[in-house]
Amino acid sequence: MNNPEVYSPLPLITASGLTCIREERILFESLDLEVKAGDIVQIEGPNGVGKTSLLRILAGLSMPYDGDVHFQGTSISSVRDDFHQNLLYLGHLPGVKGEMTAQENLEFNLSMHGLNPEYAEATLQEVNLLGFEDALASHLSAGQHRRIALAKLWQSNAPIWILDEPFTAIDKLGVKKLEQLFIDHAKQGGCVILTTHQDLAIPETLLKKVTLAYRFY
């Protein structure tokens, strides 16, 4: 992974007064969040409380019912292109094309994010897919699909990583490797915002938790 560039001391992301309503139900309201360089933020809570909705709002992919999200002090609606150049978002679905090989999928993903596809094969080694680079993705497991998607993290220059359930279908060794990658990214001036149901082996000095609760009204 390349080091993120040097950024201003302003928080990378600031969310103020976020309210999200889905199907006439309030998932969360008046939510404030500040994410600085060096932070790893875990969004936790039971299924259906709006964790994915919150990530999509923070990534600028969905609009909140109320409130705003700022990138280094400016609303992301005003600096959308600049914000997305500094963001890597990985959703819950891996987005793997079954008719393409593992390497072709990663080359395509890297190109889509403005990264160098020439390093796809070397990057596959980081996620233990070397040897499967020429296999069609349709022949690979769900865990291998997830690792194809996650491999782009090792090439990303974006300081802001927003990840929805990155540990899904990943074995213990893979989880440990990802946790160390998140720690390294934070220590180099980036931030990670993720959802996961599991406890993280990350120092308390780096980890923040945001807990969403189910609302019955």
Mean pLDDT is lowest, of 7-11, 86-90, 141-145, for 7-11
Q: Where in the chain is the domain with CATH 3.40.50.300?
A: 10-86+159-217
Query: Cα dist. 55→43, 58, 92 in Å?
Result: 9, 5, 11
Reported confidence tier of residue 215, pLDDT bands at 50, 70, 90: confident
Q: Rounded to whole angstroms, how far apart are CA atoms 146 and 109?
A: 13
pLDDT of 94 higher than 90: no
How high is the pLDDT of residue 2?
44
Paired tokens of 89: 């978002």
CA angle 155, 160, 162 (to 5 degrees): 95
Handedness of CA 70, 74, 75, 76 (dihedral sign): negative
Q: Residue 197 pLDDT > 50, yes or no? A: yes
Alpha-carbon distance of 212 to 217, in angstroms, equals 15
**pLDDT score, position 179:** 97
Residue 1 confidence (pLDDT): 42
Average pLDDT over residues 176-192: 96
Class of domain 10-86+159-217: alpha beta
Average pLDDT over residues 27-34: 96
pLDDT value of position 6: 45
pLDDT at residue number 3: 46
